Amino acid sequence: MAVGEIVLAAFIQVLFEKLASRELLNSVRREGIQTALEKWRGMLEEIKAVLADAEEKQTKESIQKWLEDLEDLAYDLDDVLDEIATEALRRKLKHQERLASIHKVRAFIPACLRPSTVLSDFRMKSKLDKITPRLQNLFERRSGLGLQKAATVAPARGSQRTETTSLIHEPCVHGRDEDKKAIMELLLNDQLSDTKFGVVPIVGMGGVGKTTLAQMVYNDETVEKHFDIKAWVCVSDNFDIMRVTKAILEFVASPSRDLKELDQVQVQLKKGLAGKKFLIVLDDVWNKNHGDWSKLKSPFIDGAQGSKVIVTTRDTDVAGMMGTIKYHQLKQLSDDDCWFVFSQHAFENLSMNECPNLVSIGRKIVAKCGGLPLAARTLGGLLRGKSEDCEKCTCLPPLGLLPKLAELHIQGMKAVENVPLEFYGLGCSNPFPSLEILSFEYMPEWQDWSPVGVDAEAQAFTRLSELSIKSCPKLLGKLPSNLPRLKTLEIMKCPQLVVEWLPSPTMPHGMRNTLPFDSLTWLSLSDVSIPCSFNSPEVADEACSPSSSLTSMRLENIQELTCLPSWFLQGMMGLQELTIRRCQNLTIFWQNDVRLQHLLPALRSLEIEKCPQLISLFEEEKEGQQQQYVRLPSTLRTLSIYDCDSLQSLPELMMLNNLEKLTVNYCSALTCLCPGAGLPSTLKDLFISRCEKLEAVLAEGMTINCPSLEKIIIRYCDNLKTLPDVIQNHDLRNLNRLVIKDCDNLESLPEGWFPTPNLRELFITGCKKLDAPPQSAYNKNNHLTSLQQLHIVSSPAAAGIASYVLKEGRSLTNLTELTISNIDNPPSEWGLHRLASLRELSLKNSSWVSFPEDGFSLPTSLIILRIKRFPNLEKLPSKVLQTLTSLEAFCIEACPMVTSIAELGLLTSLSKLLIHRCPNLASIAWLGLLPSLLELWIFDCSNLASFPDQGLPLSLLKLIIGSCPILKQRCEKKKGQYWPFIAHIPYVVIDDIFIL
């Protein structure tokens, strides 16, 4: 069978099974798409019936195109069915989880392990609407192509099938241990059948591994000792009784050459088998004629009790006719087992670490192999051959001759040194006429991209819109220059390639790469070279004027860049985004030049990152010139500066009357954010982080006049002592998020900052010297009624806010999330039960030994509860917990004195439980009392040794265990004491290794 037939036929079979799934059909009734899926199944059934004929006739271009379209559609259809199945699973769990709390509960789970978000019904139906006409088109085209249904189930190329033998060709067979065990038990059972010999059929689709399984048991040492005689015959679709009988006889005795009649052969075979316990394998049987089988088996009846015949077939009718017991159905391999088979052949002489791109490609291939080891083995061998060929290839084929080639990716060709004229197609007047996307990546020896020639070059790449060149360290020659439709250009990790904005008279003609600005809209240059003259203002008159079409530009890791001369930006009238990253020698952004006021009139975003020598965005002002120059463009909306350790000052920001977001992060030399007139009134987001020397946000005496300010985040600024107040008779009326974190020397929070009428999130943590706001601050603006999230950690300010919250809880009608840490108020004074809307509560860093049983309670509305870093805590409050009838998630962390948490057995609504760093916890025997538990996470509990005697809850869908050595040993796959307790769980990870 051809590889394409194996993969495509198997893939369509998988689609049939998915479309027939009862769970799938039940789920789509609500969506009104069941009719569409049933229609798909009917059309696919008709298409599958002519697939074998199409494979035979695929030398015709029209039929080959039909097969390619069918394969594309099958992959897209499979993706849609997977999305529907995901939605079905979500609905199955929906009744166990409160939708309003799903987002909060997921905060326990690492992002990499969270379930994917299901597509909206609208998008799903849109995809269905696209699949149906494509399938209908294929269905209708099959008749016009003259494709016929197969007249028999035997393969059209059966006579050409390579004859099998009993020898195993695989170095290691993976994923068939359970199947082998099942067949072995049948073979070694001498009382399996009422007759002296039993027939054991193995049934499965083509390429699933029936022959390999038969080979495994046939060559097993136990089988070898159990049977007196063994015989292997490949039957295939040519069920010739004489041929098969003679083949068996040759394993039993040396047949006489004079035996020409079937009767003579069978009589001799019968004598040879008489009284002997035999094993005969009949591989790949297609014949369903009972009379033929009766004739073939007649010599077997005198064999010893316990003799066996193994039959491998794709047809259950054949198995039913020949077998003396129910056939063994061989299923497809899992993706992991299929990957093992694939990688054995694809990476036989390679390390997977050396070819990650091939691994990525291989994973995608395996996902579409339908679990068939033959397809995985064959395609793995093809990939190895292709990769080896590509690595050794020293030239590129004449791809320019392909008239319909629209996308071309050339990758990992390690021996190619140049892209010669032949690449374009010698004599071709219009090479690559349809090419729109072209990329070169990881070509370590590539040095030169030769031009086609004057006439031909003018006609090449006429439709190219995207060009990408990455990781070509030796490339230094000239690139194509006449690219009239180029929109996107990306060059990365080509350190010897010189890119210039203007022709250089000192550079050889063959080395010039003047950027094609005529149509370019997106430009990214990383780790390339620029001419030394780039930084000189003297070249301004010679510079090329980039087109106003350029809207986004990124310059990264360009070592020669020391500044951005004004001529460099001439003509970039449409540039909206400018990003400069990792330019180690950049000291100033712009030189003072009167032409700056005319530059970048459309700039919206400026980002500067990891430029360690950058001191200032502009040169120091010369005497008398301060008013002469326009600073940053007034159109700027976002200014972000990261990791610029030498930055000493920012330019005047007040005139940026469109600035909405200002971010300054990791600028350790900056002492004042805005030493000039202050912040622009349009500012909405202010983010300051890790500026260790920052002493002030504004110059002394300056106030904030930013009525549009919505978010303020100030973190890890150790030298910051004060914050500017709000201008008189104004407040931060639109402020909805305020975060002040780990500013060790900050002493006060201006009354004008707190509270504001729309404040929804307030985080004050790790500010040890921060004083509490005056009482008058709490008495205005309706008592923080808009507050939704509050995090307060040890400081006078936090204590003051906590006292207010605990006393005035009834007025906080919208508070849903509260974190309290290092607060000294005794629990009896907390009054948390008054927070009627609270859904999530985190209690951290307390010296309590226990929670008081009286005078302390929690709101019954809680859905998530965390208790962290209670070093002296010995037990949990049972009276409090039993009132939390809606609690869905509980976390206990860093409580080293806790030996038992049996009180959690009262939380019958709990669906997620995290236990972390409780080294003295020894048992969770109460876990079986949680009927709704879906996820259990246990980390760093070194003494935890036992699960409940009755096992884990049957509802459990996910079990994650880490750094629990005793549990790890007892949960070892198929060997551990607790393996039967966890084998039913769909998702099990132990020490970062997926077990199930």
What would the pLDDT profile of 451-468 be if each residue is shown by its tens digit? 544 344 447 888 999 999
Contacts of 868 (CB under 8 A, 6+ apart): 842, 843, 844, 845, 891, 892, 893, 894, 895
| pLDDT of 119 over the 60 cut | no
Cis peptide before 480 (omega within 30 of 0): no
| pLDDT of 115 over the 80 cut | no
Tell me the C-alpha distance between 865 and 858, whole Å: 10
Domain assignments of the chain as residue spans, ordered by start: 3-95+122-145, 176-329, 406-501+516-528, 882-994
> What pLDDT sits at residue 114?
33
**Over residues 846-855, mean pLDDT:** 81
CATH architecture of the domain with range 176-329: 3-Layer(aba) Sandwich (3.40)
Q: Is 315 helix (H, G, I), strand (E, B) or coil?
A: coil
Q: What is the mean pLDDT of the chain?
A: 80
Whether the CB-CB separation of 814 and 788 falls below 8 Å is answered with yes
**Over residues 959-971, mean pLDDT:** 92
The DSSP annotation for 577-592 comes to EEEEE--TT--EEE--
Whether the CB-CB separation of 592 and 566 falls below 8 Å is answered with no
Whether the CB-CB separation of 307 and 300 falls below 8 Å is answered with yes
Q: How does residue 332 score in pLDDT terms, banded at 50, 70 and 90?
A: confident
Tell me the C-alpha distance between 613 and 129, whole Å: 56
Token pair of 86 as six digits: 């995901």
Residue among 666, 718, 657 at smallest CA distance from 687: 666
* Comparison of pLDDT for 533 and 803, the residue scoring more: 803
| pLDDT of 623 over the 60 cut | no
Q: How does residue 105 score in pLDDT terms, banded at 50, 70 and 90?
A: very low
Tell me the C-alpha distance between 190 and 305, whole Å: 6
Tell me the C-alpha distance between 934 and 959, whole Å: 9
Tell me the C-alpha distance between 248 and 266, whole Å: 10
> What pLDDT sits at residue 670?
94
- Dihedral pair phi/psi, residue 761, rounded to 5°: -130, 125
Tell me the C-alpha distance between 702 and 335, whole Å: 64
Tell the burial category of 133 from Cβ atoms under 10 Å away from its Cβ (0-12, 13-18, 19+): exposed
Residue among 902, 938, 900 at smallest CA distance from 922: 900
| pLDDT of 473 over the 70 cut | yes
Q: How does residue 112 score in pLDDT terms, banded at 50, 70 and 90?
A: very low
> What pLDDT sits at residue 517?
62
> What pLDDT sits at residue 454?
35
| pLDDT of 178 over the 60 cut | yes
**Over residues 793-805, mean pLDDT:** 68
Tell me the C-alpha distance between 971 and 958, whole Å: 14
* Comparison of pLDDT for 264 and 571, the residue scoring more: 264
* Comparison of pLDDT for 248 and 855, the residue scoring more: 248
Tell me the C-alpha distance between 280 and 297, whole Å: 11
Instruction: Express as a percent the part of the chain with pLDDT over 70.
Output: 76
> What pLDDT sits at residue 101?
41
Whether the CB-CB separation of 648 and 669 falls below 8 Å is answered with yes
Tell me the C-alpha distance between 52 and 189, whole Å: 40
Helices (H) and strands (E) in the chain, counts: 23, 35
Token pair of 66 as six digits: 């039909």
Whether the CB-CB separation of 781 and 757 falls below 8 Å is answered with yes
Token pair of 878 as six digits: 């049972």
For 924, half-sphere exposure in the C-beta direction (CA atoms, 13 angstrom radius) is 20
Give me Rg for the CA atoms of the chain. Answer: 37
> What pLDDT sits at residue 140?
83
| pLDDT of 781 over the 90 cut | no
Mean pLDDT is highest, among 385-389, 405-409, 511-515, 624-628, for 405-409
- Dihedral pair phi/psi, residue 887, rounded to 5°: -65, 130
* Comparison of pLDDT for 263 and 853, the residue scoring more: 263
Whether the CB-CB separation of 555 and 525 falls below 8 Å is answered with yes
Q: What is residue 622's DSSP assignment?
A: P
Tell me the C-alpha distance between 536 and 567, whole Å: 9
Output the 3-class SS for 136-185.
HHHHHHHHHCCCCCCCCCCCCCHHHCCCCCCCCCCCCCCCCHHHHHHHHH
Tell me the C-alpha distance between 842 and 870, whole Å: 12
Tell me the C-alpha distance between 383 and 441, whole Å: 18
- Measured on CA atoms in the order 238, 239, 243, 249, is the torsion positive or negative? positive
Contacts of 282 (CB under 8 A, 6+ apart): 233, 235, 244, 309, 310, 311, 312
Neighbours of 549 (CB within 10 A): 16
Tell me the C-alpha distance between 723 and 710, whole Å: 17
Whether the CB-CB separation of 831 and 806 falls below 8 Å is answered with yes
- Dihedral pair phi/psi, residue 306, rounded to 5°: 95, 0
Alpha-carbon separation of residue 762 from 171, 286, 784 (angstroms): 62, 74, 10
**Over residues 669-686, mean pLDDT:** 90
Quick: pLDDT tens for 689-734: 999 999 999 988 888 888 899 999 999 999 998 888 887 666 788 8
Tell me the C-alpha distance between 882 and 878, whole Å: 6
Quick: pLDDT tens for 874-928: 988 888 888 999 999 999 999 999 998 988 888 989 999 999 999 999 889 888 8
- Dihedral pair phi/psi, residue 184, rounded to 5°: -60, -40
Among the residue ranges 69-73, 178-182, 321-325, the one predicted with the least confidence is 69-73
Token pair of 970 as six digits: 């007892």
Among the residue ranges 247-261, 263-277, 730-744, the one predicted with the least confidence is 247-261
> What pLDDT sits at residue 348?
66
Amino acid found at 516: P
Token pair of 541 as six digits: 């008159």
* Comparison of pLDDT for 184 and 807, the residue scoring more: 184
Strands (E), 461-566: 466-470, 488-492, 522-526, 552-556
Q: Is 992 helix (H, G, I), strand (E, B) or coil?
A: coil
Residue among 431, 428, 449 at smallest CA distance from 440: 449
> What pLDDT sits at residue 18?
65
Token pair of 659 as six digits: 């600035």
> What pLDDT sits at residue 362?
75
> What pLDDT sits at residue 925?
85
Q: pTM higher than 0.85 for the full model?
A: no
Q: What is residue 532's DSSP assignment?
A: G
| pLDDT of 256 over the 90 cut | no
> What pLDDT sits at residue 17?
59
Whether the CB-CB separation of 73 and 131 falls below 8 Å is answered with yes
Quick: pLDDT tens for 401-453: 777 788 888 888 888 888 877 788 766 677 888 899 999 998 999 988 865 44
